[in-house]
A and B are shown apart, each in its own frame.
Chain A
Amino acid sequence: MAKTATPSAVQAFTIQLIVSRFNPETDEESRWESFDVEVFSTDRVLDALHKIKWEQDGSLTFRRSCAHGVCGSDAMRINGRNRLACKTLIKDLDITKPIYVEAIKGLPLEKDLIVDMEPFFAAYREVKPFLIANSKPEKGKERLQSIENREIFDDTTKCILCAACTTSCPVFWTDGQYFGPAAIVNAHRFIFDSRDDSAKERLEILNDKEGVWRCRTTFNCSEACPRGIQVTQAISEVKAAVLRGRP
């Protein structure tokens, strides 16, 4: 390794990472394992996990794809809060104490930091997260929308389906049937889109025992969202729309 390639000004330091491990073939339940990792102040939790996997224990299992906060693969519970590992700088955490990393809560644990996302995506599909329009746009033109009308649902277009919100919700932990914040966010995205004609249908889907009324406004989702989406605000707007019977 070319040591000289590293700028001498950058100081490496050692952190303790305590990771929740679970091997479905040998473990009854998950267990904590501690790793000492040498990192730079520019590193993120994802870099530390990579270092463990590449240099210490190749069996450590986690999802990541883009590594830049776009794909939504690496939501995990870091020091008790849902975060994307690729957007969490180690220097923003308290490194005098060990950093705890575990899988998101409320979805079936598959291995180490990986959960089965299927129930999450099933709820997402149920709200029909795609444009349903009855009219055809003028030939060769797109559907027009004013800046003001676009603004109404701008916030909820930013979702990357990472599940940080849904798995931070105490209601979802105890009731896996609840649609969860992410599905409602993505329903909001189309309910308030002036080009869409199926708002009523989605409002009916969400006016369910397991729909918006399960929300107890704990705000965990808003605080967990790595895209800064005001999730509870979106849910509130959908609740109000259900009561009105229209967007």
Chain B
Amino acid sequence: MSKVITPPVSQMKASRGGTLYRGREGMWSWVLHRITGVAIFFFLLVHILDTALVRAYNAVISSYKNPIMGLGELGLVGAIMFHALNGLRIILIDFWSKGVKYQRVMFWVVVGVWVVLFAGFAPRHLINVFSEVGH
């Protein structure tokens, strides 16, 4: 009655031979926090290098003015916004006596505020990016 089988790919995403752990808001907010944190770090590293090399500065800055970099900037702002908002959530979890209790609610508040801020920023930014290209 038993047979050796290969489970559907959806069940096997993570480590080989194991299912992806099904954590909830807390785990996914941490995953996002780490990904955005590391991404911001590498951006800042590059950015500090290019601004530090004064001779390259003008060339580099003008090369930022293209749609690809514009979309990258959008992603960067989105990442910083999530990292900063969720960072405040983590600070509240650590230092507010009721923080642990309300961590899940606070996660959805972070998502909500992020959506509002991003919806405010993205259209303006994209208009800038794509209207400057022609000039």
Residues of A within 8 A of B (CB): 18, 20, 29-36, 52, 56-57, 77, 79-81, 98, 100, 102, 105, 168, 170, 216-220, 222-223, 230, 232-233, 236, 239
Contact = CB atoms under 8 A, between A and B. Distances in A.
Contact of A219 (B1, B22, B24): B24
Given A170-B30, A217-B103, A219-B27, A80 B1 contact: no
Interface stretch (B13-21, B41-49, B73-81): B13-21
Contacts of B11: 80, 100
A81 B21 contact: yes
A30 B12 CA distance: 13
Interface in B13-68: 15-27, 30
Interface of B: 1-7, 11, 15-27, 30, 90, 93-94, 99-101, 103-104
Q: Is the interface of A mostly helix, strand, loop or mixed?
A: mixed
Nearest to A36: B1
B69 to A, nearest CB: 32
Given A31-B17, A33-B2, A100-B7, A232 B100 contact: yes
Contacts of B1: 35-36, 56
Contacts of B26: 217-220, 222-223, 232
Contact of B7 (A18, A52, A217, A230): A18
B4 A31 contact: yes
Contacts of B99: 236
A217 B93 contact: yes
Given A168-B23, A170-B27, A219-B26, A30 B17 contact: yes
